[in-house]
Amino acid sequence: MNQREIKEIVISALVLALAFLLSAASGSAQQLTADEIIRKAMDHYRGQTSSAEMTMVIHRPDWQREMSMLAWTEGDKRTLVRVTAPAKDAGNGTLSVDGNMWTYSPKVNRVVKVPSSMMSQNWMGSDFSNEDVSKDADIVDQYDHELVGQYEQEGFQVFVIQSIPHEEAAVVWGKEVLHIRDDWVMLQQQFWDQDDNLVKTLRALEITEMDGRPVASLLRMGREDAPQEWTEVRTATVDYDVELPDNLFTLSHLRNPRE
């Protein structure tokens, strides 16, 4: 056997081994249930803990408004968002703990609990609702999930999952439809009302690697009945699995971040 024949055999063996590994990885992802895919996407999005700097742009046909924010999460149920600019909005904060939400405005120096009936209301005039801002992972446990489609995009497998809330779930939507890549980045989240009408869609416009993982660094939320109106959130930096102060997700810290 000459050198050329040996080389061809080695290359063929390597190609077969790589094909086997890729097939095994793909098969492993495809064997996941819709529930497991949703959980992986939520865990990927939030991490055990996270700390982020973001900018929100609210766009309307005749005006545009921009805010800078800091945001922290811990587990599935704790989120704090604090506005840092412009000056007229700086200090406004929103705290979500175990499905409960409070807001704080320095202008009136008052913490207000947001009733469940207002979780679907717009957050600070944006196209995101209070529930969206809370980043709560209730969709994992309060919905039934079904894998209804799958396609390839830019070398990734994308899972299409339909999520329908339990009858007793205290949620607004009749269903949600999510497009999730096999690296657990959520590309799209559709919100449908009780009459099966598509109301609004959250889309990932840019994906960037941050702190060692792919992140949807630019998100746009838009209503179907007003295509010229939308809200974008750009993540400038995010750190995952960081140590956070014990009192971060408290009402006293919401009112006074120095405490």
DSSP 190-239: EEE-TTS-EEEEEEEEEEEEETTEEEEEEEEEEETT-TT-EEEEEEEEEE
Lowest mean pLDDT among 53-62, 70-79, 232-241: 70-79
Task: Report whether pLDDT(38) > 60.
Answer: yes
Task: Report whether pLDDT(46) > 50.
Answer: yes
CATH number of the domain bearing residue 43: 2.50.20.10
Question: Are residues 25 and 38 both part of a single domain?
Answer: no
In a domain, 248, yes or no: no
In a domain, 15, yes or no: yes
Lowest mean pLDDT among 28-32, 113-117, 132-136, 196-200: 28-32
Confidence class for position 24, pLDDT limits 50, 70, 90: very low
Task: Report whether pLDDT(25) > 80.
Answer: no
pLDDT of residue 8: 55
In a domain, 183, yes or no: yes
pLDDT of residue 105: 95
Confidence class for position 201, pLDDT limits 50, 70, 90: very high
Spatial contact of 82 and 257, defined as CB atoms under 8 Å apart? yes
Q: Kindly tell me the burial class for residue 62, based on how many C-beta atoms sit within 10 Å of its own C-beta (0-12, 13-18, 19 or more).
A: exposed
Spatial contact of 249 and 237, defined as CB atoms under 8 Å apart? no
Number of independent structural domains in the chain: 2
Task: Report whether pLDDT(70) > 50.
Answer: yes
Question: Are residues 209 and 220 both part of a single domain?
Answer: yes
Average of per-residue pLDDT across 187-196: 96
Question: Are residues 12 and 127 both part of a single domain?
Answer: no
Q: Which two tokens stand for residue 127?
A: 């196209």
Q: State the residue range of the domain holding 185.
A: 33-75+123-240
Question: Are residues 22 and 127 both part of a single domain?
Answer: no
Average of per-residue pLDDT across 65-94: 95
Integer Cα distance of 18 and 20 in angstroms: 5
Spatial contact of 80 and 93, defined as CB atoms under 8 Å apart? yes
Average of per-residue pLDDT across 111-139: 86
In a domain, 148, yes or no: yes
In a domain, 2, yes or no: yes
Confidence class for position 7, pLDDT limits 50, 70, 90: low
Amino acid, single-letter form, for residue 173: W
Structure pTM?
A: 0.84
Confidence class for position 107, pLDDT limits 50, 70, 90: very high
pLDDT of residue 131: 84
Task: Report whether pLDDT(257) > 90.
Answer: no
Question: Are residues 18 and 41 both part of a single domain?
Answer: no
- Give the chain's mean pLDDT: 88
pLDDT of residue 10: 44
Question: Are residues 4 and 44 both part of a single domain?
Answer: no
pLDDT of residue 80: 96
Average of per-residue pLDDT across 2-22: 49
In a domain, 110, yes or no: no
* % of the chain residues with pLDDT over 90: 73
